[in-house]
Copies of this chain bind each other. A is one copy, B any other.
Amino acid sequence: MITSTARRPRTRYLSAEHVAEIVRRKGLAACIAGVAGYIRQDFLRWHDFDKCARLAHHSDVGVIELMPVSDTRSYAFKYVNGHPSNHRYNLPTVMAFGVLADVETGTPDLVSELTLTTAIRTAAMSAVAARALARDNVRSMALIGNGAQSEFQALAFHHLLGVERFHLFDLDAAATRKLAANLTRMGLDFACFDSVRDAVGGCDIVTTVTAAKTNAAVLTADMIEPGMHINAVGGDCPGKTELHADVLRLGPVFCEFEPQSRIEGDMQQMPADFPVTELWQVLAGRAPGRTRADQVTIFDSVGFALEDYSALRYMRDLAQELGMGEGLSLIPALEDPKNLFGFIPAEAPAGKAACKAPAEVI
């Protein structure tokens, strides 16, 4: 389709403040529900997507990753880091932004913050999985790890699964106090605990969302009770796990995208033939999820590019609806697309600036 705007490819830009304002206007719970709906839609057309494991660059202090995915219409990627020591700089552990582009021409249509959006989509993904895997009528959830993602998990499970009470634990008491204050403001019921074991006891769902980049065993098999659903969110890159291997043997394990999860998930501890089911199969009715009320189910979540595709799509649609965002001029607008040189403003006489002798020569 050739339109009058074709010459001037403008990219919509959503800053962190834009997205925060979008979320304020729409309501966070509604945004989580909205993104969950988009994720479900996109997971149900799993085979439409050109998928790959994310591309990670590890350093001594963290990781920087690119997460691309594409169907025949839209290409999306997320840039995201994971730096557990970033609090020393007063920066978030996880920061992200992303892009939606048009597959037909390669034009980047949207550049958006994805730090806040990632927290929303991660909680949405957890809720989509738990709806498929947890028992009906869940009422309580342990939240192990009370950092930046924890409020989003609480809100998602309250609104989308009906969880009424949260059991909080974090090694960092200040993090728990922060979460407790925010849950109070949201009017959600909670209790704080001194140990993981005490927090987990009696809960229907256990969510782990810890940040340490280490092979931890935050949950051990003896803590887990029949019928629990384990939503393991924090173990998401090589060398970063949260579940003792025995926990993974307590019941069926589900993941997002198997080739990535085998490398990054808690199941990185398990042999290559350890059985796992991709969640989309359960959503599509092609594989069983939970088969008994007393079964333990485990969602070994790592975060997959398709979730960001869904979240970017949601934020783009909402930004359009609300008229939010600004324009970026990332791509030069050319009169003649073969005359990129002509885009450089000329000094009179035209072209002479180009020929200004280089000060330095290789």
Interface residues of A (CB under 8 A from B): 2, 6-7, 9, 13, 15-17, 20-21, 23-24, 26-30, 32-34, 36-37, 40, 50, 52, 55, 57, 59, 61-64, 66, 68, 70, 72, 75, 77, 79, 81-83, 86-93, 95, 97, 99, 101, 103-108, 111, 113, 115-116, 119, 127-128, 131, 146-149, 151-152, 155, 158-160, 172, 174-175, 178, 182, 184-188, 328-334, 336-347, 349-362
Residues on B with C-beta less than 8 A from A158 are 355
- Complex: A75 Cα to B79 Cα, angstroms: 11
**By CB atoms of chain B within 10 A, which of A23, A62, A104, A187 has the most?**
A104
Contact between A362 and B27, CB atoms less than 8 A apart = no
Contact between B9 and A59, CB atoms less than 8 A apart = no
Contact between B340 and A116, CB atoms less than 8 A apart = yes
Contact between B344 and A89, CB atoms less than 8 A apart = no
Contact between A344 and B16, CB atoms less than 8 A apart = no
| Closest beta carbon of chain B to A12's beta carbon, Å | 13
Contact between B332 and A362, CB atoms less than 8 A apart = no
Given A91-B105, A108-B79, do A340 and B115 touch, yes or no (CB 8 Å)? Answer: yes
Given A59-B72, A344-B28, do A338 and B178 touch, yes or no (CB 8 Å)? Answer: yes
